[in-house]
Amino acid sequence: MKKIINNPADVVTDALRGLAAAHPALLRVTRDPAVVAWAGSPVAGKVAVISGGGSGHEPLHTGFVGPGMLDAACPGAVFTSPTPDQVQAAAAQVDGGAGVLLLVKNYTGDVLNFETAAEFLDNTRTVLIDDDVAVQDSSFTAGRRGVGATVLVEKIAGAAAAAGADLDTCARLAEAVVAGARSMGLALTAPTVPHVGSPSFVLPEDEVEVGIGIHGEPGRRREPLTDASALVAALLEPILDDLPFVAGDEVLLFTNSMGGTPLLELYLAHGIAEELLAARGITVIRRLVGPYVTSLDMQGISLTLLRLDPALTDLWDAPVHTAALRWGM
Amino acid sequence: MKKIINNPADVVTDALRGLAAAHPALLRVTRDPAVVAWAGSPVAGKVAVISGGGSGHEPLHTGFVGPGMLDAACPGAVFTSPTPDQVQAAAAQVDGGAGVLLLVKNYTGDVLNFETAAEFLDNTRTVLIDDDVAVQDSSFTAGRRGVGATVLVEKIAGAAAAAGADLDTCARLAEAVVAGARSMGLALTAPTVPHVGSPSFVLPEDEVEVGIGIHGEPGRRREPLTDASALVAALLEPILDDLPFVAGDEVLLFTNSMGGTPLLELYLAHGIAEELLAARGITVIRRLVGPYVTSLDMQGISLTLLRLDPALTDLWDAPVHTAALRWGM
Amino acid sequence: MGCDARSVAAAVVAAAGVVGEHRDELVRLDQAMGDADHGENLRRGFGFVVSALDESTPDTPGAVLKLVASVLISKVGGAAGPLFGTSFLRAAGAVGAAEELTPELVSAALGAALGGVVARGKAELGDKTMVDALAPAASARGADIPTLLTAAAIAADAGAESTIPLVARKGRASYLGERAIGHLDPGARSVALLLRSFANSAMGL
Amino acid sequence: MGCDARSVAAAVVAAAGVVGEHRDELVRLDQAMGDADHGENLRRGFGFVVSALDESTPDTPGAVLKLVASVLISKVGGAAGPLFGTSFLRAAGAVGAAEELTPELVSAALGAALGGVVARGKAELGDKTMVDALAPAASARGADIPTLLTAAAIAADAGAESTIPLVARKGRASYLGERAIGHLDPGARSVALLLRSFANSAMGL
Ligand SMILES: Nc1ncnc2c1ncn2[C@@H]1O[C@H](COP(=O)(O)OP(=O)(O)O)[C@@H](O)[C@H]1O
Ligand SMILES: Nc1ncnc2c1ncn2[C@@H]1O[C@H](COP(=O)(O)OP(=O)(O)O)[C@@H](O)[C@H]1O
Ligand SMILES: [Mg+2]
Ligand SMILES: [Mg+2]
Ligand SMILES: [Mg+2]
Ligand SMILES: [Mg+2]
């Protein structure tokens, strides 16, 4: 394993120390339990927006803490959802008296730990994020997992809270984003988890894993590595068919790197996706391109589409200041 | 080679198409010759700031085009400096009548091509960026290469130009940044150039290349892969000794990922660097942490230190709106 | 020589050792179908449990189980933290304030543990989860604690093995569809390991 | 059968073919010490040169060389673009408006090409650059063009080989210090390849 780390058991703690050092005016980072909070929180009368999950997906979630987005993030161990203690500590720090919105990616571990925390908290609402169309949706299973849409939910719910919306409204908007967003990803390489030391799976030089998640779990299927046009189409078609997105829709297109894929390839993929959408009569009116929901050093991309309406668009455009996403302030 | 590309000969063109699609309001992207210009340029009476270089280092330089930073960037082929035609075309597009500042990384190819272009342009100043302490400085050689400081030069010169400084002042400030900035990098893995298809070098599992540049060239030496604390110290010591940076200095610390190194490791390294600087009595007053000067998919990091004074600090803090760096607007 | 708080605490410490020994195996099992953290999660969690028991041993078996539960819930995270935590919490409830465990109490504890996992995780038998190990274990019977726990461990082992040919319907492996077939569920394996360790401890009483 | 514009253009097209054949070799040489683009840069550049010559063949040898120069300068980039471009530009200047090349003009062209590279790149003999191939080539003499160019190609070959044991002082390889020792300079190799191709074309006149 080649990584710039000290003790593998301490990577999250050590990285949080660096995060705190890098953003002293923006973030308040506490340990035991680990919480990354906006230094300006709590804001009296504002709904507090909290998310969290396993580490290894940076900048998700800690990079999205700040005015206009998350009040706090709870970073778990690598690929391990945080504990209820972390969520309770985060809520205690950032609750401004107007309620706490918990934004939770739909994984068994995340759901159970946030659920336990919520039992100890007053006035909370939980919104589950489950946008990955690679996973069959069924009431008999764990359901779809949350991936790229998480950034969009956090931005839009965070903007609503910043604008003074109440807890129900914030939750309703978060649910609207979940309802209108779909994602799918593929991997060219596997991530290497620090406490494991070997790649999570082994992929031949000429194959890709299609329908992967963000935890190094294998995807739905392996396919030959084709050219970028075919790969992008293989991600986009299932997304479009699922909601479905149709001609006339106005959308946000989020082209995400899983971490190891360079911007050159990412923009190349983004350009292809824009062309495919234009050919379908779907109008891209907002975009996000970059490594925002990653899986350590995995090479790969995911696409997320969100159907926009003017209200969601305004909330997307609202000022935000976090380590990883910033505009208007 | 595993990459999300179509024809390797077209990667830059295809990526530029995606860049244009992703930032329609911000950028004006033209081809033949390839130029990425700020859509708001030219601004009458403002010094135009232009940079460029080989592609494969994204977001450098195209991701730094926009108000408060570059007026235009000239992206060459992968790892190949742009042609004089590109630079001339960029100048023609963005020259606002107050002169053109050319910010050039000190590589033979970049120097020669920008030099040729400058012969055709009126009222230009060229500032060479050569911050890499891994390269011995000598008047008999090509000299030091330009690496991480490039972002800082572009930001600060761009801010000065935006604030209305004249060409000489902008050039003087750019030179001040070059004079006060030093960098060094290391690699855990080699990049794979699309038109080559194999990694630029082969590094055993237990070794790092220390003193690498950003073009996949081997470094100064190979060393055993040690822990993060030792690796960060091995980069920081030569930087500190070179200028030298001394107790009492106020600095900007830029912790850069070479592309494939995830944020978790990058923040971890940043934290260590902050601690080492604090122990030396050097005060970090500004930071930049992220993949800003990359080498395709290479795993590795570089550190850049810039000694700040109030004037440079104000220019660093000034509003900027580019694809990759944005604050205050 | 009865099964008091001290014996239960010792059994938990011994189980922590077993978890540590099998940490890499559990990581590998989770790597095949999931996110490669199960072994590390349990190692970390039981490490904290041992530290907590080092500091103070509670008075009753139930209090020991409750301490284990609260450490696992508050320190582990992931799916395993709440599910194992809840199982220990429900087991603690089932044994109440008894000074010593009886076969009946152990049986009740196993049933309660299963109930807790099912209540939290909503998995059914055959969903390829720890339930497939815990459910048959909870049905085991025995005249004394060693016999009962040995029967439970054997049942859990068989139950864990039974997950191999299954498609997963719960947990992370459910994302894999048919590709989960052929792999042993890591959570079922760790349930079996814990019960085997408890049985061994009981034999030594 | 003289060396007119058409012959020079044909020689350039033939040289473009040689560059294409050696593209991977030049990439590999540049990969060892530099950034692995030299072969691709020249392939791309000479591809544009061939297209330009396809469109229209200039009237004089000098005009052909000037066209090659301007295409290389405006299309290649990197160090090779301006350096090769300047060498062709200076060579064009040296042969002036002559309708046909003579050995004296070829000799003057080679000298001018060297002068151009040195003026732009400031490299001296032994700096491990294309100068190490071009300088000995420019000193070659011959009674007719084939003889002269063959002597130049032989000298360039030897000059290129002489770069192997050197530490680089110019270009990208200068960053490597001692680690450049043992590697052939890609630019010197491509100079030798071009001159060998020109010599072969001249033989066929
Ligand atoms: N809904 C569920 N009900 C019961 N057990 C479950 C459920 N979901 C997951 N598990 C168990 O949890 C184990 C995985 O635990 P672990 O790897 O620690 O958590 P995570 O899946 O969050 O990474 C699985 O092997 C499975 O036995
Ligand atoms: N200053 C110089 N003078 C003469 N030749 C040089 C100089 N710098 C570099 N070269 C030549 O250029 C070659 C590299 O060309 P190329 O790879 O196309 O450009 P780059 O180095 O910009 O990637 C080297 O092998 C060397 O022969
Ligand atoms: Mg996990
Ligand atoms: Mg180059
Ligand atoms: Mg797991
Ligand atoms: Mg090169």
Tens-digit pLDDT profile for residues D98-124: 999 999 999 999 999 999 999 999 999
Task: For residues A189 and A163, state if they share a domain.
Answer: no
- C170 close to ligand 1 (CB < 6 Angstrom): yes
- CA angle in degrees (0–180, nearest 5) for B72-B86-B17: 70
CA distance B102 to chain D (A): 16
Residues of B in contact with D33 (CB under 8 A): 217-218
Chain A interface test: which of C23, C35, C90 (most A C-beta within 10 Å): C35
Instruction: Tell me whether residue A326 is in a domain.
Output: no
At which of A164, A179, A194 does a domain end?
A: A179
Mean per-residue pLDDT, B212-228: 94
With CB atoms and an 8 Å threshold, state whether A274 touches B21: yes
Q: Find the domain containing D47 and state its range.
A: 5-203
Atom from ligand 1 closest to the CA of residue C131: 4
Q: Residues 187..216 of B with a Cβ closer than 8 Å to A: which?
A: 188-189, 205, 208
Mean per-residue pLDDT, C30-57: 96
CATH number assigned to the domain comprising residue A236: 3.30.1180.20
Rounded Cα–Cα distance for residues A24 and A323 (Å): 11
Report the pLDDT value the prediction gives residue D59, as an integer from 0 to 100. 96
CA distance B326 to chain D (A): 30
* pLDDT value at A186 more than 90: yes
Residues of C in contact with A32 (CB under 8 A): none
- CA angle in degrees (0–180, nearest 5) for A125-A127-A131: 180
Of B304, B323, B305, which is closest to residue B148 (Cα–Cα)? B304
* pLDDT value at D1 more than 70: no
- D27 close to ligand 2 (CB < 6 Angstrom): no
Chain A interface test: which of C23, C25, C33, C37 (most A C-beta within 10 Å): C37
Task: For residues B72 and B38, state if they share a domain.
Answer: yes
- D87 close to ligand 2 (CB < 6 Angstrom): no
Task: For residues B162 and B251, state if they share a domain.
Answer: no
Instruction: Tell me whether residue A1 is in a domain.
Output: no
pLDDT confidence band for A142 (50 / 70 / 90):
confident
The one catalytic residue among A57, A61, A195, A270: A57
The protein residue with its alpha carbon nearest to ligand 1, atom 19, reads: C79
| Mutational pocket test of ligand 1: of C73, C120, C170, the residue with most ligand atoms within 8 Å of the beta carbon | C170
pLDDT digits (tens, 9 = 90+) for D56-95: 989 999 999 999 999 999 999 999 999 999 999 999 999 9
Strand positions, DSSP E, D29-129: 100-101
Task: For residues B187 and B160, state if they share a domain.
Answer: no
- C111 close to ligand 1 (CB < 6 Angstrom): no
Which of B63-72, B128-137, D187-196 has the weakest average pLDDT? Answer: B128-137
Helix (H), strand (E) counts: chain B: 8, 14
| C/B Cβ contact: 3+ pairs below 8 Å | no
Q: What residue type is assigned to position D21 of the chain?
A: E
- D86 close to ligand 2 (CB < 6 Angstrom): no
With CB atoms and an 8 Å threshold, state whether D77 touches B135: no
A321 counts as catalytic? no
With CB atoms and an 8 Å threshold, state whether B21 touches A270: yes
Report the pLDDT value the prediction gives residue D39, as an integer from 0 to 100. 98
Q: Which residue of B has its CA nearest to A288?
A: B22
pLDDT digits (tens, 9 = 90+) for A277-325: 999 999 999 999 999 999 999 999 999 999 999 999 999 999 999 999 9
Task: For residues B46 and B172, state if they share a domain.
Answer: yes
Could you report how far apart the first and last alpha carbons of chain C are, in Å? 6
Q: Which residue of B has its CA nearest to D25?
A: B196
Contact indicator for C131, C163 with CB cutoff of 8 Å: no
DSSP secondary structure letter of residue B140: T
Residues of A in contact with C126 (CB under 8 A): none
Number of domains in chain D: 1
Instruction: Tell me whether residue B126 is in a domain.
Output: yes
Instruction: Tell me whether residue B322 is in a domain.
Output: no
* pLDDT value at C1 more than 60: no
Q: Which residues contact B178 (CB under 8 A, 6 or more apart)?
A: B127, B128, B129, B130, B131, B149, B153
Nearest to D73 among B76, B84, B107 (CB): B84
Rounded Cα–Cα distance for residues B22 and D205 (Å): 55
pLDDT digits (tens, 9 = 90+) for A63-122: 999 999 999 999 999 999 999 999 999 999 999 999 999 999 999 999 999 999 999 999
CA distance C75 to chain A (A): 6
At which of A126, A158, A179 does a domain end?
A: A179
pLDDT digits (tens, 9 = 90+) for C131-175: 999 999 999 999 999 999 999 999 999 999 999 999 999 999 999
Report the pLDDT value the prediction gives residue D24, as an integer from 0 to 100. 97
pTM: 0.97
pLDDT confidence band for C57 (50 / 70 / 90):
confident
* C187 close to A (CB below 8 A): no
Of A90, A116, A86, A80, which is closest to residue A37 (Cα–Cα)? A90
Task: For residues B149 and B248, state if they share a domain.
Answer: no
Q: Report CA(B135)–ligand 4 centroid distance (Å).
A: 17
* A296 close to B (CB below 8 A): yes
Instruction: Tell me whether residue B4 is in a domain.
Output: no
3-state SS of chain A is CCCCCCCHHHHHHHHHHHHHHHCCCCEEEECCCCEEEECCCCCCCCCEEEEEEEECCCCCCHHHECCCCECEEEEEEECCCCCHHHHHHHHHHHCCCCCEEEEEECCHHHHHHHHHHHHCCCCEEEEEECCECCCCCCCCCCCCCCCCHHHHHHHHHHHHHHCCCCHHHHHHHHHHHHHHEEEEEEECCCCECCCCCCECCCCCCCEEEECCCCCCCCCCEEEECCCHHHHHHHHHHHHHHHCCCCCCCEEEEEEEECCCCCHHHHHHHHHHHHHHHHHCCCEEEEEEEECCCCCCCCCEEEEEEEECCHHHHHHHHCCEECCCCEECC
Q: Is the peptide bond before D136 cis (omega within 30 degrees of 0)?
A: no
Instruction: Give the number of other Cβ atoms within 10 Å of residue A198's Cβ.
Output: 14
Atom from ligand 1 closest to the CA of residue A108: 8
CA distance B248 to chain A (A): 18
What residues does B223 pair with on adjacent strands? B208
Q: Residues 117..136 of B with a Cβ closer than 8 Å to A: which?
A: none
Q: Is the peptide bond before A319 cis (omega within 30 degrees of 0)?
A: no
Report the pLDDT value the prediction gives residue D57, as an integer from 0 to 100. 86
CATH number assigned to the domain comprising residue C34: 1.25.40.340
Of A86, A25, A28, A23, which is closest to residue A55 (Cα–Cα)? A86
With CB atoms and an 8 Å threshold, state whether A4 touches B58: no
Report the pLDDT value the prediction gives residue B115, as an integer from 0 to 100. 97
Encoded tokens for A178: 């979940």
Report the pLDDT value the prediction gives residue D204, as an integer from 0 to 100. 86
Task: For residues B226 and B163, state if they share a domain.
Answer: no
Instruction: Tell me whether residue B328 is in a domain.
Output: no
| 3-class secondary-structure state, position B37 | strand
Q: Is the peptide bond before D186 cis (omega within 30 degrees of 0)?
A: no
Encoded tokens for D121: 């790149």
pLDDT digits (tens, 9 = 90+) for B114-158: 999 999 999 999 999 999 999 987 777 889 999 999 999 999 999
Contact indicator for A148, A183 with CB cutoff of 8 Å: yes
pLDDT confidence band for C100 (50 / 70 / 90):
very high
Contact indicator for A170, A163 with CB cutoff of 8 Å: no
The protein residue with its alpha carbon nearest to ligand 2, atom 1, reads: D121
* pLDDT value at A137 more than 80: no
CATH number assigned to the domain comprising residue B71: 3.40.50.10440
Chains linked to D by 3 or more Cβ pairs within 8 Å: B
Q: Find the domain containing A229 and state its range.
A: 181-316
* pLDDT value at B46 more than 80: yes
Q: Residues 33..52 of D with a Cβ closer than 8 Å to B: which?
A: 33-37, 40-41, 44
Strand positions, DSSP E, chain C: 3-4, 100-101
Task: For residues B218 and B89, state if they share a domain.
Answer: no
Instruction: Give the number of other Cβ atoms within 10 Å of residue B329's Cβ.
Output: 14
Q: Which residue of A has its CA nearest to C173?
A: A217
Instruction: Tell me whether residue A325 is in a domain.
Output: no
Task: For residues A256 and A212, state if they share a domain.
Answer: yes
At which of B179, B199, B228 does a domain end?
A: B179
Number of domains in chain B: 2
Residues of B in contact with A262 (CB under 8 A): 56, 58, 259-260, 294, 296-297
pLDDT digits (tens, 9 = 90+) for A249-284: 999 999 999 999 999 999 999 999 999 999 999 999
| 3-class secondary-structure state, position B19 | helix
- D41 close to ligand 2 (CB < 6 Angstrom): yes
- D23 close to ligand 2 (CB < 6 Angstrom): no
pLDDT confidence band for A161 (50 / 70 / 90):
very high
With CB atoms and an 8 Å threshold, state whether A77 touches C37: yes
Instruction: Tell me whether residue B327 is in a domain.
Output: no
Atom from ligand 1 closest to the CA of residue C191: 27
A61 counts as catalytic? no
Report the pLDDT value the prediction gives residue A136, as an integer from 0 to 100. 81
CA distance B293 to chain D (A): 16
Mean pLDDT value across chain D: 96
